[in-house]
Amino acid sequence: MPREAKPENGAKRLKTERWRAGQRAIRRPEAAHVDVALAAAFAATLVELGQRNEAPAPLFDVVTTAISMLEARGFDSKAAKRKTHERLQFRKDLPKLRGMLAPSKIVTTGS
């Protein structure tokens, strides 16, 4: 969630806006865009491999680690698990994301 703009930071805000405009002009993603893409790709891969019963244990370790990180930030354990699983399994864009996967390139433990 964006922070409320402080009037005293106007010059910095304008500088940041110009920088972001430059990034958009050269089509360079910001870290937040990469974070979202990685999360989406991970979710699609996990669901795809899970439906084939081929999901390697390290993928589940990533999920467990993410939940632990949320708990370390003070979030309720049960709520963190529920929200994490919701974000991975009930994404509205999963069919589209799964269509973008290259199944032959997904490495599994049996490969």
Residues 6+ apart with CB under 8 A from 92: none
Q: What's the average model confidence in pLDDT over 70-93?
A: 92
Q: Which residue has the higher pLDDT, 80 or 9?
A: 80
Concatenating the DSSP letter of every residue in 2-46 gives PPPPPGGGHHHHHHHHHHHHHHHHTTPPPHHHHHHHHHHHHHHHH
In this prediction, residue 1 has a pLDDT band, given cuts at 50, 70 and 90, of low
- Residue percentage of the chain with pLDDT more than 70: 90
For the chain, the domains span 31-105
